[in-house]
Every structure is written in structure tokens, then in C-alpha cells.
Amino acid sequence: MHLTIRADGGSEIGYGHLVRTAAIAREFLDEDHEVTYATTTPETAKEVCPEGIEVTTLYSRSDPNPFLEWIRDNHPDATLIDAYPADTEYQQRINERVPLAVYTDDARHTICADVLINGNLYAPNLAYDFVGDAPKQLLGPDFVPLRNEIRLFADQEPLWRDPPRRALITMGGSDIENRTPTVIRSFDGFDLHVDAIVGPGFSEQQEHEVHVAAESTAVSMSVTRNPNDLAERMFQADIAVSTASSTTYELLALGTPIVCEPVAENQEPIATALGKRDAATIVKNGATKLEFRQAINQYLSNPSLRKSRCELGRELVDGDGTERIFAKVLLMSQKRT
């Protein structure tokens, strides 16, 4: 079959939509299906998404007409949309032409689709509205799409070191709120090796500030831009500091205990859900160096907390969500033929 994915990403809007749909795209490619991305950010899509996809450029995030024209000319078998501007009318017009799955993080739009996907912890508790019959609903962390490299390590038994020796800082592909320097300084004086990750969307100024913070902090630290082995670094870490984003679910699947900061409004529900389940240590948006330091020290001084968070994370996200989504989207396309 031919799946078309409508998603965008980059330094200004974040990389999460591309990262999670790229995991789904990889599954389809591995099963010998064809995948095309329809996107307003073609260069970023080519960087983030797997080799073997085709990319077509759209010039509007919210106008469905260019995408409809492409669908009419190319006849895909199914479409997956993961884009906030794709409102109810947008979905309805696409769904008139081709079977449609919609990936969303909230209930902002009435859904007009054959399949609804929301892999967030809080997804089953949202009140969704639908046009016509309710779609097949894939809700909750059983439907978190994980990248192949994450799934590889999620299948392994997590490492256990006491006392902990390694920590990771990963504050998003572009760190829009520029939180990485503050987090780096919060590790001052701890007996750890810290991996500080510079995402692909960091500006030169941001990267410079990260290096300045690292050089002024008394801790063993490496700063690496967009490493190819990020999944392994996440797995090797005894604790990680992250935003409340798609990275959170990857860390849960790996069993890596998390200090989590929601840095955008759409991340607050993830942080709240993690807090309710005692699955991570949550700091407020804009947390100070001292607040990060206290959260980190909580893990360093409490091995039972690290162990319980490791076990709970793997229970919440079992790593098979990508396969489950693949099966349902494939079935969706067959039912409409």
C-alpha cells in the first residue's frame, strides 16, 4: 500500500510530530510499503525521517487544497495526519477522498477520520467529538510510536548502578525556551558524567551558551550535537532531565528515571499525567537551577525511587505501540477499498 503522512517540524514548531510519525513510516517501509510525506518543512522531514520515503512540498499548513490536489494526482491508499492546523473541515475533505487516520494530542478539533490515535497517558480521559460514526480509537501509551533504535534498547533489561554514574540532558530538538544551560549548571559538583545534548534545531548562540555553561560547571560533562547514538545514551543514563514531550515516552520505555519540565502549554497534560502516576519527578516550567538540583539529588539519594520509576516506566510504555498502529492503519486502508 501507499501511505501518505501529513506532518511538519522544525526549530520553530518542534520536532515531535515528525519524530513520532517517522517511527510509523519506518514500520511501513520495513514491511515493503510505500510512504510519502506531504509537508511544509521538506528539508527537516528529509533529515528526521527514514531513508526510502518520498517528500512532497506543501505551501500551507492549514489550507487542504494543495494536499487534496496531490492526493487526486497520486492516489495514495491511506493518509495519516499529525498536524494541529488540520481542523475538522481539513480532515473531512481529506477523508472524502482517502481513508484517514488522525494523530492528535488533544480534543481541540471534532474528529472526522477512520482511526483516531493519541498515545499520551491522558488520552483515554479526553472528551472527543466526531463527525458521523466514531472512528477506531487507539488511545493511551499502548499506542506510543517509538523509533526502531529506542525499541531495540527497550527490549533489553535496564542497567542498574548504585550509586548512579551517568546522567543525560535532552531538552528537545530546538530547546525553544533555552533551558539547557540552566539544567547543566544544576549538576555542579555532582559525582556523575553528564551527557548534554544539543538538538538539531539549536541556534549557534544556543550552542555557544551550552558550551559556556558546561565549561563553568564542576562536573564531568560532554556536549554533543545531534548524536547518532542518542538512543543508547538515553538507555545508558541512570537519570535523565527532559521536557514533557515525546522524549518522555522514549525514556519511560527504556526504564530511565526522569526529571521532567513542561516547557509549553501542550506539555502540561503530559507532566500532570506523569505526576499523578508518580512516574517522574516534575519541576515547574521555568524551574530554577536550585529546583533542578533538588530534583536530581532526590534520585541520587534514593535508589528505591530510581528502581520503582524504572519499573513503572517500562510497564506504562511497552514498546509495541508502533506495531499496533501499523496493523490498525493497514486494516483501515483495506476496509475502504
Outline which parts of the chain fall under CATH 3.40.50.2000: 149-316
**Cell, residue 125:** 480521559
Residues 6+ apart with CB under 8 A from 312: 277, 278, 279
Residue 335 pLDDT > 80, yes or no? no
Continuous segment of H or E residues that includes residue 138: strand 136-139
Q: For 294-319, what is the mean pLDDT?
A: 97
Q: Are 196 and 210 in contact (CB under 8 A)?
A: yes
For the chain, the average pLDDT equals 96
Q: Quick check: 219 pLDDT over 60?
A: yes
Query: Is the pLDDT reported for residue 337 higher than 70?
Result: no
When pLDDT is cut at 50, 70 and 90, the band that residue 14 belongs to is confident
- Is residue 117 a contact partner of residue 325, using CB atoms and an 8 Å limit? yes
CA dist 317 and 129 (Å) reads 26
Residue 292 is predicted with a pLDDT of: 98
State the CATH architecture for 149-316.
3-Layer(aba) Sandwich (3.40)
Q: Is 116 helix (H, G, I), strand (E, B) or coil?
A: strand
Reported confidence tier of residue 13, pLDDT bands at 50, 70, 90: confident
CATH number of 2-145+319-335: 3.40.50.11190
How many CB atoms are located within 10 Å of the residue 300 CB? 17
pLDDT in tens, 61-76: 999 999 999 999 999 9
For the chain, how many residues are written?
A: 337
Q: Is residue 176 exposed (0-12), middle (13-18) or buried (19+ Cβ within 10 Å)?
A: middle
What confidence tens digit (pLDDT) does each residue in 160-201 have? 999 999 999 999 999 989 999 999 999 999 999 999 999 998
Cell numbers given for 68 = 487534496
Q: What are the start and end residues of each CATH 3.40.50.11190 domain in the chain?
A: 2-145+319-335
Q: Coil, helix or strand for 60?
A: coil
CA distance 118 to 241: 24
Task: Provide the percentage of residues in the chain whose pLDDT is more than 90.
Answer: 94
The owner of cell 528526521 is 48
Is the per-residue pLDDT at 336 higher than 80? no
Cell of 262: 513542561
> How far is it, in rounded angstroms, from Cα 30 to Cα 147?
12
pTM metric for this prediction: 0.94
Q: Which of 194, 195, 203, 196 lies closest to 176 in space, CA to CA?
A: 203
Contact 170, 249 (CB under 8 A): no
Q: pLDDT tens for residues 88-134? A: 999 999 999 999 999 999 999 999 999 999 999 999 999 999 999 99
